[in-house]
Amino acid sequence: MSSRILARFAYKDFEFQDEFDSPLLLGRQRSADEPCFQKQPEATGWRMAVAALQDRGVSRLHALVEPLPGNRVKITNVSEANVIYVAEMPPKQMVPQAIEVRELPVAFTLGDMLIKLSAAALESPVSDEAYQSLPYATLSPKSAILRRYSDPQLRPVQPSAATESDVKTLLRWLPALTHLLQSAATTDEFFQQAVTLLLEFVTLDWATVVLYDNSKFGNPWKNVAEMRSPSAAADLAAKTPSRTLLARLLAEKRTIRYVPTPTVASVESLSGIDSVVAAPILNESEEIIGALYGERRIYPGIAARQAISELEAQLVDTLASGVAVGLERQRQSKAAWEAQLQFEQFFTPQLAVELRKDPELLKGRDAQVTLLFCDIRGFSRISHRLGPAKTVDWIVDVMRELSECVLNHEGVLIDYIGDEIMGMWGAPASQAQHAALACEAALDMLERLPDMSARWKPVLGGDFGFGIGLNSGSAYVGNTGTVWKLKYGPLGPEVNLASRVQGATKYLKVDLLVTAATKQLLPHDILTRKVCAVRVINIPEPVELYEVQRNATNEWRELTRSYEEALNLFERQQFHRAVKILGAILNDYPHDGPSIVLLSRASKELVEPSVQFDPAWELPGK
């Protein structure tokens, strides 16, 4: 008869042990999701991954260990490239395909892992009667309210069978459980509250919360909270839950009690234990992500106690379901908070809340929007003089104020493009006054400019300005980013036109221009002056551009009347009359940019008449 072997694995501060009596094939993970240190059935025995996928010092198939009669073992190096070292003095190297038959105990290495093999202590198998599962599966966060019974013959404890002590326990238990579920504690505090409840209501000697992650190298169970009773407090030894019981828990996905029978010995991991209870913690997909585990231990000089009852196991099961719900609530709250933080990078806080409630608003669609582009004039010249560090300080300060203007008027921050900011109105939520809101934001930007310029003048050595362009129309809006980075924004010709309008401000020597499409949507209290029609790159049709003013003075109204009369004369090729009016305008307003440009164009037509006159000005560049 072949020997039963106890294998102990040691790597740095990690230790693990398991037993086997059939051939065991050892190697590194075949894939990242293959669990380590869990025996997987193979055609001729077992396979166990004992090294991470990236550990090239261990082959996927490396050592075959076969128990032999008479406490012997056969070790075969089945790797094609890596060696095995038998731990003796001096170490013996086993090259690929080498075979060693050794008496137990023996030790060898696979990469950095030391594996010690010895004869396992003979023990009677644990009777299945010692393991008592509750008759229903533990509830996950998405489980139905009514429990599903796997066996119609099994029933929970009937109310009539409950003792007065049980009823009192339940009456104390329910408020405590409710308090836990309503707790706003952090995850770590939440786990600690759970083990506190276990010790208090189930009268355990040791209670712990362990989390399960089979992708972790080594032991997939991690202790995250524990507590000991006063009788167990003097026991300073580190405790770990029974791997045998946790293996059953993974298989059954229901709460299990372990109550050893008088005639059957315990497995090693359950020795010295009076009774144990373990309940799975499930996620929404009903996968085990952890467990509540508690023990009543046997201590010398302490009278034996009753085994953990089914009612107590039900309390643990209910608590595990509550912990699962609490963890899911925390996960959802964290995800919602992260989503809102991400949304608030682009949207107003109010809109971020709406998007968190209804993420469907972010889906791509056609929308009527107004787009704003604002560029800092003279950026390249100034940044060259300032150097990188001071340029960053300056641009961050300016962009902060420009961003406030967009958000204060219910806009969406689309992007920062170097020294340019892009905003949008009309999506993701519809806005009837999208053009007016965008225009108000642009005018606020210009109102803030004097203070910003004065604040930075000592550093910059001079003033700076803005060029702002607005356009309204239909655009496709949605998330144009990736799974790693949200990039919500618009696409389409109207977006390109808005950018070209911003570029036109430097040629027409004005701070703010809007297209006719935007002008038609503005309320009457925002006055406009038609500047001219232009042709921009990649857009064949001429575009009418307007300057806007809020709370215009009588002087500005008179300037607008005179300029538009001159523009009308220019477009009708009455250049002499246009020049006369423009000259008078510049006599009173010598810095009026549109008048200077139009006078230049009219004078040129007088000196060098165009062969085919086009009233639309073809801009020299973007």
> Nearest CA to 220 among 25, 29, 24?
29
What local confidence, expressed as pLDDT, does residue 148 receive? Answer: 41
At 351, list the tokens.
């809109």
Whole-Å CA distances, 83 to 79, 89, 95, 599: 7, 17, 5, 89
Whole-Å CA distances, 232 to 131, 298, 300, 301, 423: 24, 10, 11, 13, 64
Strand 288-297, strand 14-20: pairing: unpaired
What local confidence, expressed as pLDDT, does residue 281 receive? Answer: 92
Give CA–CA dist 547/598, Å, rounded: 14
Task: Name residues whose C-beta falls within 8 Å of residue 556's C-beta, 6 or more positions apart in sequence.
Answer: 527, 549
Specify the higher pLDDT residue, 473 or 123: 473
What local confidence, expressed as pLDDT, does residue 130 receive? Answer: 75
Query: If pLDDT is split at 50, 70 and 90, which confidence band does 123 have?
Result: very low
Architecture of domain 365-519: 2-Layer Sandwich (3.30)
Q: Which residue has the tokens 């107590």?
A: 312
Structure confidence by residue, pLDDT tens digits, 328-386: 877 777 766 666 666 666 666 666 666 666 777 777 889 999 999 999 998 888 888 88
Least confident of 55-69, 129-143, 486-500: 129-143
Identify the H or E element spanning 207: strand 206-212
Give CA–CA dist 94/101, Å, rounded: 12
Give CA–CA dist 525/375, Å, rounded: 26
Structure confidence by residue, pLDDT tens digits, 35-51: 888 888 888 899 999 99
> Nearest CA to 204 among 130, 312, 302, 324?
312
Sheet holding 5-11, edge to edge: 14-20, 5-11, 113-119, 106-110, 84-86, 92-94
Specify the higher pLDDT residue, 571 or 198: 571
Q: For the purposes of burial, counting CB atoms within 10 Å of the CB of 183, is it exposed (0-12), middle (13-18) or buried (19 or more)?
A: middle
> Nearest CA to 314 among 128, 129, 138, 131?
138
Residue 156 has pLDDT above 60, yes or no: no
Strand 221-228, strand 206-212: pairing: antiparallel
At 469, list the tokens.
């362009």
Give CA–CA dist 542/533, Å, rounded: 6
State the DSSP string of 583-612.
HHHHHH-TT-HHHHHHHHHHHHHHHS--SS
User: Phi and psi dihedrals of 83, rounded to 5?
Assistant: -95, 170
Residue 320 has pLDDT above 50, yes or no: yes
What local confidence, expressed as pLDDT, does residue 170 receive? Answer: 62
Structure-derived torsion over alpha carbons of residues 398, 438, 556, 620, reported in degrees to the nearest 10: 70
- Rounded to 5°, the CA angle 555-548-591 comes to 55
Most confident segment among 157-161, 335-339, 547-551: 547-551
Task: Name residues whose C-beta falls within 8 Å of residue 555's C-beta, 6 or more positions apart in sequence.
Answer: none
Residue 544's CB is within 10 A of a number of other CB atoms, namely 15
Give CA–CA dist 488/475, Å, rounded: 13
Specify the higher pLDDT residue, 313 or 127: 313
What local confidence, expressed as pLDDT, does residue 94 receive? Answer: 96
* Residue ranges of the chain assigned to CATH 3.30.70.1230: 365-519
Structure confidence by residue, pLDDT tens digits, 225-239: 888 887 776 665 667
Strand 84-86, strand 14-20: pairing: unpaired
What local confidence, expressed as pLDDT, does residue 95 receive? Answer: 96
Share of the chain above pLDDT 90, in %: 44
Specify the higher pLDDT residue, 319 or 149: 319
Looking at domain 5-119, which of 3.90.1150.10, 1.20.1250.20, 1.10.3720.10, 2.60.200.20 is its CATH number?
A: 2.60.200.20
Most confident segment among 23-37, 235-249, 305-319, 430-444: 430-444
- Rounded to 5°, the CA angle 465-537-597 comes to 50
Q: Which residue has the tokens 């020294």?
A: 419
The residue type of 425 is W
Residue 423 has pLDDT above 90, yes or no: yes
Residue 135, classed as helix, strand or coil, is coil
Residue 158 has pLDDT above 50, yes or no: no
Whole-Å CA distances, 366 to 44, 86, 356, 475, 505: 62, 70, 21, 6, 28
At 622, list the tokens.
């973007």
> Would you say 111 and 91 are in contact if contact means Cβ atoms under 8 Å apart?
no
Whole-Å CA distances, 469 to 417, 441, 508, 511, 516: 15, 12, 12, 9, 12
State the DSSP string of 255-322.
-EEE---TTSPPPGGGTTEEEEEEEEEE-TTS-EEEEEEEEEE--TTS---PPPPHHHHHHHHHHHHH
* Residue ranges of the chain assigned to CATH 2.60.200.20: 5-119
Residue 125's CB is within 10 A of a number of other CB atoms, namely 8
* Residue ranges of the chain assigned to CATH 3.30.450.40: 128-332
Specify the higher pLDDT residue, 511 or 140: 511
Give CA–CA dist 511/503, Å, rounded: 10
User: Phi and psi dihedrals of 2, rounded to 5?
Assistant: -70, 150
Query: If pLDDT is split at 50, 70 and 90, which confidence band does 425 have?
Result: very high
Give CA–CA dist 549/530, Å, rounded: 12
> Would you say 382 and 460 are in contact if contact means Cβ atoms under 8 Å apart?
yes
What local confidence, expressed as pLDDT, does residue 237 receive? Answer: 63
CATH code for the part of the protein at 128-332: 3.30.450.40
Residue 490, classed as helix, strand or coil, is strand
Structure confidence by residue, pLDDT tens digits, 506-546: 999 999 999 999 999 999 889 999 999 999 888 889 999 99
> Would you say 421 and 374 are in contact if contact means Cβ atoms under 8 Å apart?
yes
Rg of the chain over Cα atoms, rounded to whole angstroms, equals: 39
